[in-house]
């Protein structure tokens, strides 16, 4: 948050518990760094969205609303009979200016949204293929899947397979079955996961992002009310990506578009970050670790390119097929990747066709097995290497060091 200035007066951060209790709201306070006598001319306060409250030796400036933009105007109210008299007679040593706590990332998201107000959005239903347009059930489920709560609900997950669930079975059948039963959390609320979700929401809408940041405030804010390192990091990532030229050129379509279709007789669902129908193009945001480092596959213990290890080729292959079924046309794709290292490197890329073909082959080869696993008709196989298998491992005998080498140190 930028340090506020009024007529060139300098402020510095100031925290005071009693002031917070008085204001009845949480936020950031600032105080003047020098003694000030307010001028008789108060024109500079005319469009300042705050009211003054006199309390002992302080003038507390408190906002009417918690979401007041710098360009917003509100009626100014003084709790004295004569504001001019107040300014003339009071020599104020400390002026406390309360500003509602606003995450920097919210402001960056708002700037991006304002720059893209003119982007053309489509009514997705108008472009659906005839098979979808004439199927009331498909139209109804697409509407329901547009709601994030329903998309991730047990009802939707029971009827539709997602790429996340499919990749879970491919990584370790035992872990995914335990996760689906609610016996194991493969997605604990780690800081990395929350940061990644925060970046996604910033480019979905300002309202969604602000709600997300507020709900996860403990991840981004210190107990004293200041941003922590993760709070600054997510702001910097969003700021950098929002100003990237390629990202601005291509992230211009409908956001969070729900997809449904079938592969191998199984119903699939998906959600595209950005769908530009007129260009026949969809893009996805990926926040990664250092993308210049190969990642180790937990099953094979071999190093792979990060986009293959994370199954991006599988996800993109599925989304292309679902889009083809829904709209009757082929879509190109792109990935906007930004890593969470201090460099915050950005790369925009597409996945080569041979990788996408392999990704679809993996889906088709494993889909019948996954059907049986979801129905509980076969016993899931433990991979022995994932966090679930290591956590639930129950050794029953001594093993030779050579076997241990194969289990733990396999390269």
DSSP string, 351-381: --HHHHHHHHHHHHHHHHHHHHHHHT-SPPP
With cut-offs at 50, 70 and 90, classify the pLDDT of residue 350: very high
Q: What is the pTM assigned to this prediction? A: 0.74
List the alpha helices (DSSP H) in 24-147. 83-89, 104-115, 130-133, 136-145
**pLDDT mean across residues, the chain:** 77
pLDDT digits (tens, 9 = 90+) for 20-43: 443 333 444 444 443 333 334 344
Using DSSP bridges, classify how beta strands 332-339 and 281-288 pair: parallel, antiparallel or unpaired.
Answer: parallel
87-91, 154-158, 328-332: the lowest-pLDDT one: 87-91
Cα–Cα dist 61/308, whole Å = 54
Q: Which of the two residues, 288 and 11, has the higher pLDDT score?
A: 288
Q: How many CB atoms lie within 10 A of CB 357?
A: 12
Residue 298 has pLDDT above 80, yes or no: no
Q: What pLDDT was estimated at residue 42?
A: 40
Cα dist. 319→200, 273, 274, 333 in Å?
18, 11, 12, 9
The CA angle 201-206-210, to the nearest 5 degrees, is 75
Residue-level pLDDT at 51: 37
Question: Of 108-117, 161-170, 182-191, which range is least confident?
Answer: 182-191
Lowest mean pLDDT segment, chosen from 97-101, 215-219, 300-304, 312-316: 97-101
Closest by CA position to 104, among listed 25, 23, 202, 193: 202
Sketch out the chain's domains with CATH numbers: 11-100 (no CATH), 122-186+245-375 (3.90.320.10)
Of 145, 152, 69, the residue nearest 113 (C-alpha): 69
| Of 23 and 161, more confident | 161
Round to whole Å and give the CA distance between 115 and 358: 39
The predicted pLDDT at position 251 comes to 96
Q: What number of residues does the chain have?
A: 411
Binning pLDDT at 50, 70 and 90, where does residue 14 land? very low
Residue 197 confidence (pLDDT): 93
Say yes or no to pLDDT of 344 above 80: yes
| Whole-number Å distance between alpha carbons of 321 and 166 | 15
pLDDT tens for each residue of 224-258: 667 788 988 999 999 999 999 999 999 999 999 99
Q: Are 326 and 260 in contact (CB under 8 A)?
A: yes
CA neighbours closer than 13 Å in the CB half-sphere of residue 72: 12
pLDDT over 80 at 373, yes or no: yes
Q: Which residue has 């392999």 as its token pair?
A: 358
Confidence of residue 87 (pLDDT cuts 50, 70, 90): very low
Residue in 121, 201, 167 with CA at minimum distance from that of residue 318 = 167
């Amino acid at each position: 948050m930028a340090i506020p200035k009024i007529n060139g007066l300098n402020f510095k951060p100031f925290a005071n518990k009693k002031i917070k209790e008085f204001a009845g709201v949480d936020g950031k306070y600032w105080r003047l760094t020098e003694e000030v006598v307010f001028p008789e001319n108060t024109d500079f306060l005319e469009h300042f969205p705050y009211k003054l409250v006199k309390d002992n030796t302080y003038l507390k400036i408190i906002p009417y609303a918690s979401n007041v933009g710098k360009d917003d105007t509100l009626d100014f109210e003084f709790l004295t009979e004569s504001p001019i008299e107040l300014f003339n007679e009071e020599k104020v040593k400390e002026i406390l200016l309360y500003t509602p706590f606003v995450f920097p990332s919210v402001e960056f998201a708002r700037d991006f949204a304002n720059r893209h107000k003119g982007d053309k959005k489509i009514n997705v239903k108008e472009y659906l293929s005839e098979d979808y347009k004439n199927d009331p059930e498909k139209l109804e489920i697409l509407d329901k899947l547009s709601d994030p709560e329903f998309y991730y609900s047990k009802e939707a997950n029971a009827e539709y397979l997602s790429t996340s669930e499919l990749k879970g079975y491919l990584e370790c059948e035992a872990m995914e079955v335990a996760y689906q039963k609610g016996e194991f959390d493969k997605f604990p609320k780690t800081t990395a996961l929350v940061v990644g979700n925060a970046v996604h929401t910033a480019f979905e809408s300002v309202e969604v992002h602000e709600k997300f940041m507020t709900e996860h405030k403990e991840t981004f804010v210190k107990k004293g009310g200041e941003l922590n390192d993760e709070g600054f990091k997510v702001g910097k990532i969003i700021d950098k990506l929002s100003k990237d030229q390629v990202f601005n050129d291509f992230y211009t379509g409908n956001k969070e578009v729900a997809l449904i279709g079938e592969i191998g007789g199984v119903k699939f669902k998906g959600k595209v970050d950005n769908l530009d129908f007129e260009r026949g193009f969809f893009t996805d945001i990926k926040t990664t670790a250092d993308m210049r480092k190969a990642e180790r596959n937990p099953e094979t213990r071999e190093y792979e390119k990060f986009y293959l290890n994370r199954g991006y080729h599988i996800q993109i292959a599925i989304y292309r097929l679902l889009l083809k079924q829904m709209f009757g046309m082929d879509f190109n794709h792109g990935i906007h990747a930004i890593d969470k290292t201090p460099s915050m490197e950005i790369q925009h890329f597409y996945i080569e066709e041979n990788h996408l073909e392999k990704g679809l082959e993996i889906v088709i080869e494993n889909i019948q097995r996954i059907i049986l696993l979801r129905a509980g008709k076969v016993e899931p196989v433990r991979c022995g290497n994932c966090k679930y298998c290591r956590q639930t491992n129950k050794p029953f005998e001594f093993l030779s060091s050579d076997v241990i080498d194969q289990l733990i140190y396999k390269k």
